[in-house]
Amino acid sequence: MANIPELPHEAARLQALLDLNILDTPPEERFDAITRKAQAEFKCKTVLISLIAEDRQWFKSRQGLDKRETPRNISFCTYAIAEEEYLIVPDTHQDFRFKNNKLVKGEPFIRSYAGVILYSTEGYEMGTFCLLHDKVKHYDEQDIQRIKHYAKIVEQELVLSEEFGRQ
């Protein structure tokens, strides 16, 4: 896999993520309900709310995946947070960044990826709301707008978490 992209404001981004006080917290139904609904709507194998920490991606909610985290250096979401708004990879076997990734070649056999950035209230990239398929998947503009809508709902829930953490 190619070198992972680094954000110019990485230290501030990581601090904003830590300030959420959400990493390594137990599953919460309000997040799980969102990922379950998206999994059914998009008929995909896996839906994740992925938060990108310094050396790992941690899943606040996950449907279709047993792991609670993966190393950041194999994370698709690390690439997504370096994009403008989202990252769509219709066929991982055709993308030089991912075709040799162990998550493509082995479990969970990711064949396509769609991830929309989750932003903090300060505008930092916290992670992604993402869909993983085990077959090639093309997304049209309507699909992308629907995924963005789910990401906005997750951001609102993260803001509630942040506000609750300050009390």
Segment 90-100 mean pLDDT: 95
Question: Global pTM?
Answer: 0.92
Tell me if 57 sits within 8 A of 69, measured CB to CB. yes
Question: What is the distance between the alpha carbons of residues 18 and 20, in angstroms, rounded to a whole number?
Answer: 5
Question: What is the distance between the alpha carbons of residues 37 and 160, in angstroms, rounded to a whole number?
Answer: 20
Which CATH code fits 10-166? 3.30.450.40
Residue matched to tokens 């056999």: 109
pLDDT surpassing 50 at residue 1 = no
Residue-range domain boundaries for the chain: 10-166
Tell me if 43 sits within 8 A of 127, measured CB to CB. no
Segment 117-145 mean pLDDT: 96
The pLDDT of residue 159 is 86
Q: How many other CB atoms are there within 10 angstroms of residue 160's CB atom?
A: 11
